């Protein structure tokens, strides 16, 4: 008897842990019933990061135009394994821009988030609605990784790392996004909105499974542009056709056809589209060889991350709210994670520089000073330093260092004229008030190397 009880419990546990994102139509496990004491220690950030002025020119641009800028800059075309077009996402550049609080980047992504949240679909065509929801899913998935790229000091391996409780796919079920006025989860967007719009009676357009991307290596292609209502059919054809050229999606070896797990998880959708999985594939692979066996390719949930280093993209000028000269725009206090601090001085023109981090990119390096309005003797200095270096393969890349230090001011130097600080990390700042020039020196530990930068500061 005890043996049967133990076996039943073991089978139940195996069934619970094998619940798949792809099997969300027939969920075997409800997160709401999870033992809260077994949750992973993750803190998922889905907050807005900058306030956009209602008169900012960026808000006059269309959502698809803004998403085009995002996808074209960060979904990077690579050579696929097979013969197809393929992309990987440049999360490292996304992270660098977010860490340095790049205002063009933050305005871009927050404008997109705002427009997704407030989108009015009342007059949209069916194809425009489908394109909107696919773009929303793909953008929000990438941004979720961007906001939570590091967990416990390390780059996350998979979007599943952000799940809570016992269900490894809980993150897909959590209603954490405002989309067209509704609170939705990833599952809601994909399974209710997109699929619902592409279902007519017993017919389902299953191509959307090649368009909605869950930021994983096993997924099809992340299109490097936004989907658009007037081009939706050709775009869905493109990602499906090109996706099936990739070895992770389909390959033939002898008498065996190896195919993506999508054809197993969503078999009924493909049957409702073309009659059978084989007939669906033949539509996009006209010369598909005849085989006698079918096997499924292991699905990788690792991030679809571009690991090859490249320069951080320079985003185009997308508008200004007329306050770009405001010191609080140049020195966002969120760099300190203390929004109560006031920016009081900005030094952004680098006159000379050397650093142990690499060759300083002068036009992207600056220093800001902040004061605590409730304590006149407490302040911060924050250095945002961008430097170039080379990896082991001789490729050039950019790294971003956001370095901040708390200061205790006295009456003699409360205008940041001169100060020294630190024992292990030593900092020295000298301000030439006549020339309005700042000399910044930083040395860490026992290294002989220093970061020495001379800035021209705003008046």
Predicted confidence at residue 23, as pLDDT, reads 45
State yes or no: pLDDT of 4 exceeds 60.
no
**Average pLDDT score, the chain:** 81
User: Closest by alpha carbon to 429, among 400, 398, 403, 401?
Assistant: 403
Half-sphere exposure of 51 (CA within 13 A, CB side): 8
User: What's the pLDDT score for residue 398?
Assistant: 65
Predicted confidence band of residue 11 (pLDDT cuts 50, 70, 90): very low
Exposed/middle/buried for 7, CB within 10 Å: 0-12, 13-18, 19+? exposed
Question: So what's the pLDDT on residue 323?
Answer: 41
Looking at per-residue confidence, does 409 or 236 come out higher?
Answer: 236
pLDDT digits (tens, 9 = 90+) for 94-126: 999 998 888 889 999 999 999 999 999 999 999
Other CB atoms within 10 Å distance of the CB of residue 361: 18
Residue 422: what pLDDT? 62
Backbone region of residue 358 per phi and psi (left: phi > 0; alpha: psi in -120 to 50; beta: other values) = left
14-53 pLDDT tens trace? 444 444 444 443 332 222 222 333 334 455 766 667 778 8
DSSP run (H or E) holding 387:
strand 375-390
| Among 286, 251, 287, residue whose Cα is nearest residue 83 | 251
Q: Has residue 322 got a pLDDT over 90?
A: no
pLDDT band at residue 291, thresholds of 50, 70 and 90? very high
For CA atoms 352, 357, 362, 368, the dihedral sign is: negative
Average pLDDT in the 118-139 region? 97
pLDDT at 28 (0 to 100): 29
CA atoms within 13 A on the CB side of 257: 18
Other residues' Cβ atoms within 10 Å of the Cβ of residue 277: 21
Give domain limits for the chain: 2-296, 328-457
Chain-centroid distance of CA 150 in Å reads 11
The least confident of 6-20, 210-224, 413-427 is 6-20
Q: Determine the pLDDT at residue 455.
A: 81
Secondary structure element (H or E) that encloses residue 138, with its range: helix 126-147
Rounded Cα gap, residues 70 and 48, in angstroms = 17
Token pair, residue 37, equals 């004491």
**Residue % of the chain over a pLDDT of 90:** 49
Tens digit of each residue's pLDDT (9 = 90 or more) over 49-93: 777 887 888 999 999 999 999 999 999 998 766 666 899 999 999
Q: How many CB atoms lie within 10 A of CB 195?
A: 21
**pLDDT over 50 (residue 374):** yes
Residue 445 three-state SS: coil
Higher-confidence position of 453 and 262 = 262
Please say if the pLDDT value at position 340 is more than 80: no
pLDDT band (50, 70, 90) for residue 411: low
The DSSP symbol for 162 reads G
pLDDT band with cut points at 50, 70 and 90 for residue 456: confident
pLDDT number for residue 407? 72
Residue 36, pLDDT score: 31
């Amino acid at each position: 008897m005890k043996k049967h009880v133990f076996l039943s419990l073991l089978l139940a546990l195996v069934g619970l842990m094998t619940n798949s994102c792809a099997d969300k139509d027939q969920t075997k496990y409800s997160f709401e019933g999870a033992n809260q004491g077994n949750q992973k220690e993750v803190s998922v950030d889905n907050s807005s990061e900058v306030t956009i002025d209602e008169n900012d020119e960026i808000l006059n641009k269309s959502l698809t135009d803004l998403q085009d800028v995002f996808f074209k800059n960060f979904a990077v075309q690579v050579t696929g394994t097979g013969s197809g077009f393929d992309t990987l996402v440049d999360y490292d550049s996304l992270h660098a821009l977010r860490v340095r609080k790049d205002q063009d980047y933050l305005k871009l992504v927050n404008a997109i988030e705002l427009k997704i949240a407030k989108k009015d679909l009342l007059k949209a065509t069916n194809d425009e609605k489908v394109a909107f929801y696919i773009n929303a899913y793909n953008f929000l998935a990438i941004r979720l990784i961007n906001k939570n790229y590091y967990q416990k000091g390390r780059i996350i391996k998979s979007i599943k790392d952000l799940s809570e409780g016992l269900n490894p796919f809980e993150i897909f079920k959590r209603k954490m996004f405002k989309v067209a006025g509704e609170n939705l989860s990833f599952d809601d967007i994909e399974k209710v909105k997109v699929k619902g719009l592409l279902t007519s009676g017993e017919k389902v357009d299953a191509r959307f499974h090649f368009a909605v991307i869950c930021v994983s290596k096993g997924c099809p292609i992340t299109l490097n542009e936004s989907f658009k209502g007037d081009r939706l059919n050709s775009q869905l054809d493109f990602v499906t056709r090109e996706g099936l050229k990739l070895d992770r999606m389909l390959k033939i070896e002898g008498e065996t056809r190896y195919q993506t797990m999508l054809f197993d998880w969503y078999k009924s959708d493909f049957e409702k589209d073309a009659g059978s999985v084989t007939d669906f594939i033949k539509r996009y692979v006209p010369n598909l060889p005849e085989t006698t066996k079918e096997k499924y390719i292991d699905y990788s949930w690792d991030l679809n991350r571009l690991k090859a280093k490249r320069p951080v993209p320079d985003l185009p000028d997308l508008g200004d709210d007329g306050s770009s000269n405001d010191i609080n725009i140049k020195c966002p206090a969120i760099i300190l994670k203390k929004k109560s601090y006031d920016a009081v001085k900005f030094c952004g023109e680098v006159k000379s520089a050397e650093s142990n981090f690499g060759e300083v990119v002068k036009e992207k390096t600056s220093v800001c000073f902040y004061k605590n309005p409730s304590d006149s003797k407490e302040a911060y200095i924050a250095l945002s330093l961008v430097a170039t270096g080379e990896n082991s393969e001789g490729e050039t890349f950019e790294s971003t260092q956001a370095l901040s230090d708390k200061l205790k001011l006295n009456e003699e130097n409360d205008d940041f004229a001169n100060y020294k600080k630190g024992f292990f990390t030593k900092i020295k700042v000298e301000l030439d008030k006549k020339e309005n020039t700042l000399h910044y020196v930083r040395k860490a530990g026992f290294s002989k190397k220093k970061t020495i930068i001379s800035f021209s500061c705003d008046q």
